[in-house]
């Protein structure tokens, strides 16, 4: 037992309390791309949407059902892609999310859901752009 | 409690100590004369023993039993184990060379103490019949009637469920067991002190409960053993001859004296507290309605007064608990198993999906809960559920339920 | 203590609570935040759990063990039962279908918890080797060496005897058991906190002790379980998964926190208290000489500091106890069995006659005993023995001895 | 368990504390008779002696090894024969001792030892008288 070990890092607690990048996206110009991934039995369901403007991810927001780590990771993943060029944007890898947010090992599968949803978003954004 | 302290709605996990229990325990801890070994023949030993016997009478009184029908244990878990393993093994060995009856009836909604004791019996070669509750969490006497066989050694069922609060008609089942001469064990950890529980009915051979669910200390419990006919029990532990040879070890005077006073207080408060708490529970359920869609796990009645098990559509349990942390102390599933992350087997037995189970909370109310706390708790809960739903994926309200 | 209170010389039955233990237990009993179920995931539950983990570290520290090697129980009786029954049954079942080893080595001077656990093993088909002490109460490592067989599943011996205080050379026996890869269980209820006890020696697989012999509360104990190789144990009780699945039930926060502080205090006082108490014991023995003819049961050394077992020729035990009642609290035989009237099996194993045994008293000394109390106790004893001898039949001094 | 039940009656406590009729006999005139019975395994050993004077038991005293009930019974038995004519003296029956002194059932054997010792004393006294 390790009752004294904090269950959530300060970053996770902060992101969970504020839920920055929470959908809906602010109104604005440009097209909207979206991406989703879910694995309910693993405990995560994430939807991203992004406003695309001038070949860049102008803003990104999430909807999610999941534990505090999952919600925090979704918010973090949004922040990571904002401002990037669509052509070169990449999803934050699950491992990096887990490391930054000190996610317990048994929740790695949920981080993969976040990563997958972001891949889907970026793929959709590229498809929209090339149309 | 100040506005800063979390509101405690987890009485079913453990009730705070009654201050009058604390006072008498302090007396035992501070009075040198009472600290001798109650098994010692000298004066301080006898003084301790006589306090213990007074406590035994108080504990027995709460369930209408004679004092010598009470065996003290370390808690309901031990009582349940001693009753189930002890009675079944004694029945098996009664006819020599393990040839006695080996059929045991229990249910899918037992507390882990009962469930895991019965599973151990399976490993030892017993045949278990696990009764299935209906969607409302009820086990009916008719199910027991159907399950009984000539070689049934034991029926073990809980009185009130620790997760849903739903109550089983033990009187009817006891009548059945009396008629068929089958030993009945009742896990009454959640009902003693909260409902009138009387072992006068001849069908109840064994009944388990503990102190910490009713305002007494943790680490002490009781097993009621009918006197006539006395059920045969094989002890779990050996040595010292205490408690009629059924449970050895130095008796903890301060703990038992606290248990006794808690039982006395519960008995005198029952008629007033039970309806008061029931009213608070329904007030809470009403006050939670703004968090719709939501549902109740288990039928509202018959039940113990203090337990409300609610599910909130679209909610993720761990996030809800963090959202409430430091403001509201509640359990997701039973506290006893909330250290483990697996979904409640009780709610599963009611037919709930794992997603619905993880979206459920057990709110439990007790002696110190006030209407103001209930209203504040409901506001906190509604706000927490709403906040988590704000960012929910489209369609989640329907799927997570 | 005023001159009116009886002098307490029954520390081996139970030691009075240390006031610092009482203080921390009061804190737990009075602080609402610490009264939640330590298995609950919410903030007050975690607060309780973290106090318990701190206590686990203190308890482990007293025997030089890592905290995760400690399983909390309801007392030494339960620890001893869990160790003996648990290890032997696990060994028997290890090779499937009860084909594992079934030979167990113990002794004729064990506390009833150990003795009756081993007798239960006999009923379950184990073959017991009961080592015989010499006339001084000693069990020698050589006897264990001779008793070990290829199919020995367990050796279970006490460290210090609760009636004579005589100490067994556990280090030598542990070395033997390590070499032969046999699990060794040590009942250290009378030695932990009174002698340096360290489980660092690889041969000790299991070690039992409890709080109330060292100034902590009754009703709580510990079982040390070596981590590598971890001895296999079959639990006595099931349900809830607490304590690594070895011992279910809600952990009693106040009890464990008190146990922890008692261990901490015992550890820091050991170097000063052990010699002080040993000196008091020898002072008592000297001061009793005017009650000659008298004898000492068990060799003076090696022993725990606080136990003196004396026989007074021509004395009838019950009359002696009544003569002392209210003035001196002592045990005839072990307190644990002094409720029963049968002569001490331990002293019988030393070769004492039943008449000599009933004429014997166990005087045990502890933390609060003063030299003045020792002197006063000796005067009381000498006077009591003399009064009873005044009306003795001619020849009784020789025959009752 | 009945921890509250007194273990000794007031009479037993009083007799045990005072041990009246404890040997030796006070000096005096007359012959001395004695009687003994013992059952060490049962926990009792009683010796009586009596000063005989003028055909009567002038005084009686005991020595005993035994529990408080046994010592009290021995003292009580002495009192019962003092002053009686030797010819008609009878030992107090064990049952009567047990009743008067509220002796627990399992100690009845010890009362029989007291009775037997008194029988022996009376027999000796008669033998001395008839000499
Ligand atoms: C129905 C039921 N049985 C048994 C127990 C076990 O009680 P304890 O933790 O005192 O051993 C509990 C509580 O945890 C319970 O709710
Ligand atoms: C050597 C020994 N082992 C075990 C025990 C049992 O301890 P407890 O009464 O705490 O169960 C005792 C004390 O009674 C003891 O002296």
Which phi and psi angles does D77 have, rounded to 5°?
Answer: -65, -35
Q: What is the DSSP string of chain A?
A: --TTS-SS-HHHHHHHHH-TTBSSPPS-SSEEEEEEEEEGGGTEEEEEEEEEETTEEEEEEEEEEE-HHHHHHHHHHHHHHTT-BTTT--PPPHHHHHHHTT--GGGHHHHHHHHHHHHHHHHHHHHHHH-
Q: Identify the pLDDT of residue B94.
A: 87
Say if CB C82 and CB C89 are below 8 A apart: no
pLDDT tens series, chain C, 401 aa: 445 789 999 999 999 999 999 999 999 999 998 999 999 999 999 999 999 999 999 999 999 999 999 999 999 999 999 999 999 999 999 877 667 889 999 999 999 999 999 999 999 999 999 999 999 999 999 999 999 999 999 999 999 999 999 999 999 999 999 999 999 999 999 999 999 999 987 899 999 999 999 999 999 999 999 999 999 999 999 997 788 889 999 999 999 999 999 999 999 999 999 999 999 999 999 999 999 999 999 999 999 999 999 999 999 999 999 999 999 999 985 344 444 567 899 999 999 999 999 999 999 999 999 999 999 999 999 999 999 999 899 999 999 99
C333 lines ligand 2 (CB under 6 A): no
Task: Please tell me the distance between residue C37's alpha carbon and the centre of ligand 1 in angstroms.
Answer: 11
B49 lines ligand 1 (CB under 6 A): no
Indicate which of C50, C70, C243 best probes the interface with A, i.e. most A CBs within 10 Å of its own CB. C50
C390 burial level (CB within 10 Å; 0-12, 13-18, 19+): exposed
The residue among C194, C112, C118, C179 whose CA lies nearest residue C154 is C118
Looking at the predicted structure, is the pLDDT value of residue B339 above 70? no
Q: Identify the pLDDT of residue C334.
A: 38
Nearest chain C residue to D70 by CA distance is C319
B10 lines ligand 1 (CB under 6 A): no
Looking at the predicted structure, is the pLDDT value of residue A2 above 70? no
Cβ contact B113–C252 (<8 Å): no
C375 burial level (CB within 10 Å; 0-12, 13-18, 19+): middle
pTM: 0.95
For the stretch A11-69, pLDDT in tens is 999 999 999 999 999 999 889 999 999 999 999 999 999 999 999 999 999 999 999 99
C304 lines ligand 2 (CB under 6 A): no
Confidence of residue A6 (pLDDT cuts 50, 70, 90): low
Confidence of residue B332 (pLDDT cuts 50, 70, 90): confident
Looking at the predicted structure, is the pLDDT value of residue B103 above 80? yes
Range of lowest pLDDT (B210-214, C283-287, C323-327, D4-8): D4-8
Our answer to whether residue C118 is catalytic in this structure is: no
- Paired tokens of C36: 């939640």
Cβ-Cβ contacts under 8 Å, B68 against chain D: 1
Cβ-Cβ contacts under 8 Å, B52 against chain D: 3
Q: Identify the pLDDT of residue D45.
A: 98
Q: Among residues 27-46 of chain B, which lie with CB inside 8 Å of chain D? A: 46
Q: Identify the pLDDT of residue B334.
A: 38
Round the average pLDDT of chain D to a whole number and report it. 94
Query: Which of D8, D41, D45 is closest, CB to CB, to C393?
Result: D45
Say if CB C206 and CB C224 are below 8 A apart: yes
B80 lines ligand 1 (CB under 6 A): yes
Q: Which ligand is nearest to the CA of C241?
A: 1
Cβ-Cβ contacts under 8 Å, C50 against chain A: 3-4
CA C84 to mean position of chain CA atoms: 15
Cβ contact D23–C391 (<8 Å): yes
Looking at the predicted structure, is the pLDDT value of residue B333 above 90? no
DSSP classification of residue B163: T
Range of lowest pLDDT (B94-103, B185-194, C135-144, C167-176): B94-103
Distances (CA, A) of A123 to A50, B346, C161, C377: 12, 43, 76, 91
Distance from CA of B253 to the nearest CA of D (A): 14
Round the average pLDDT of chain A to a whole number and report it. 94
How far apart, in whole angstroms, are the C-alpha atoms of residue C367 and residue B363? 47
Q: Identify the pLDDT of residue C200.
A: 85
Q: What is the DSSP string of B27-47?
A: HHHH-GGGGS-TT--SHHHHH
The residue among C313, C320, C321, C325 whose CA lies nearest residue C352 is C313
How far apart, in whole angstroms, are the C-alpha atoms of residue B111 and residue B119? 12
How many Cα atoms occupy the beta-carbon half-sphere of B115 within 13 Å? 17
For the stretch B31-81, pLDDT in tens is 998 999 999 999 999 999 999 999 999 999 999 999 999 999 999 999 999
Looking at the predicted structure, is the pLDDT value of residue A94 above 80? yes
Q: Identify the pLDDT of residue D2.
A: 38
Cβ contact C250–B217 (<8 Å): no
For the stretch B139-163, pLDDT in tens is 999 999 999 999 999 999 999 999 9
For the stretch D43-68, pLDDT in tens is 999 999 999 999 999 999 999 999 99
How far apart, in whole angstroms, are the C-alpha atoms of residue A115 and residue A77? 8
Q: Among residues 45-84 of chain D, which lie with CB inside 8 Å of chain C? A: 45-47, 62-68, 70-71
Cβ contact A65–B318 (<8 Å): no
B157 lines ligand 1 (CB under 6 A): no
Q: Identify the pLDDT of residue B201.
A: 78
Q: Identify the pLDDT of residue B2.
A: 44
ipTM of the complex in this document: 0.94
Terminal C-alpha separation, chain A:
55
Indicate which of C31, C52, C219, C234 best probes the interface with B, i.e. most B CBs within 10 Å of its own CB. C219
Q: Identify the pLDDT of residue B382.
A: 98
For the stretch C211-268, pLDDT in tens is 999 999 999 999 999 999 999 999 999 997 788 889 999 999 999 999 999 999 999 9
Say if CB C109 and CB C346 are below 8 A apart: yes
How many Cα atoms occupy the beta-carbon half-sphere of B139 within 13 Å? 32
B375 touches chain A (CB under 8 A): no
Cβ contact B392–A38 (<8 Å): no
């Amino acid at each position: 037992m390790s009752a004294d070990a904090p269950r959530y890092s300060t970053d996770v607690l902060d992101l969970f309390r504020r839920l920055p990048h929470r959908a809906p996206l602010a109104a604005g110009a440009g097209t909207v791309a979206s991406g989703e991934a879910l694995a309910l039995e693993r405990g995560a369901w994430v939807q991203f949407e992004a406003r695309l403007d001038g070949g860049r991810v102008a803003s990104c927001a999430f909807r999610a059902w999941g534990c505090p780590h999952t919600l925090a990771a979704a918010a973090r993943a949004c922040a990571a892609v904002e401002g990037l060029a669509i052509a070169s944007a990449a999803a934050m890898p699950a491992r990096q999310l887990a490391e930054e947010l000190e996610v317990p090992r048994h929740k790695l599968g949920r981080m993969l859901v976040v990563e997958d949803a972001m891949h889907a978003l970026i793929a959709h954004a590229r498809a929209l752009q090339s149309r | 409690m100040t506005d800063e302290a979390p509101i405690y709605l987890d009485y079913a996990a453990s009730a705070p100590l009654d201050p009058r229990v604390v006072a008498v325990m302090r007396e035992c801890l501070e009075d040198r004369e009472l600290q001798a070994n109650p098994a010692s023949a000298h004066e301080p030993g006898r003084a301790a023993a006589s306090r213990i016997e007074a406590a035994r009478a108080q504990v027995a009184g709460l369930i209408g039993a004679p004092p010598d029908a009470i065996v003290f244990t370390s808690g309901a878990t031990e009582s349940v184990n001693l009753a189930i393993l002890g009675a079944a093994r004694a029945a098996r060995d009664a006819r020599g060379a393990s040839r006695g009856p080996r059929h045991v009836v229990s249910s899918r909604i037992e507390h882990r103490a009962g469930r895991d004791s019965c599973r151990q019996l399976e490993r030892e070669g017993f045949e278990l019949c696990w009764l299935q509750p209906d969607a409302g969490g009820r086990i009916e006497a008719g199910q027991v009637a159907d399950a009984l066989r000539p070689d049934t050694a034991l029926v073990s069922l809980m009185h009130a469920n620790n997760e849903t609060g739903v109550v089983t008609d033990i009187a009817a089942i006891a009548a059945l067991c009396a008629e068929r001469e089958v030993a009945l064990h009742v896990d009454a950890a959640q009902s003693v002190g909260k409902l009138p529980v009387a072992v006068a009915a001849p069908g109840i051979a064994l009944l388990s409960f503990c102190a910490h669910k009713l305002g007494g200390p943790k680490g002490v419990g009781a097993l009621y053993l009918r006197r006539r006919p006395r059920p045969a029990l094989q002890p779990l532990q050996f040595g010292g001859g205490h408690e009629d040879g059924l449970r050895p070890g130095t008796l903890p005077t301060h703990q038992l004296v606290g248990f006794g006073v808690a039982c006395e207080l519960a008995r005198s408060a029952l008629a007033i507290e039970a309806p008061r708490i029931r009213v608070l529970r329904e007030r809470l359920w009403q006050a939670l309605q703004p968090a719709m869609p939501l549902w109740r796990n288990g039928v509202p009645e018959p039940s113990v007064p203090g337990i409300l098990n609610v599910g909130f559509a679209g909610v993720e349990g761990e996030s809800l608990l963090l959202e409430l942390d430091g403001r509201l102390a509640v359990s997701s599933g039973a506290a006893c198993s909330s250290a483990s992350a697996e979904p409640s087997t009780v709610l599963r037995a009611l037919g709930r999906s794992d997603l619905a189970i993880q979206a459920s909370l057990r709110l439990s109310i007790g002696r110190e809960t006030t209407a103001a706390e209930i209203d504040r708790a409901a506001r906190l809960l509604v706000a927490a559920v709403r906040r988590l739903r704000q960012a929910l994926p489209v369609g989640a309200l329907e799927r997570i339920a």
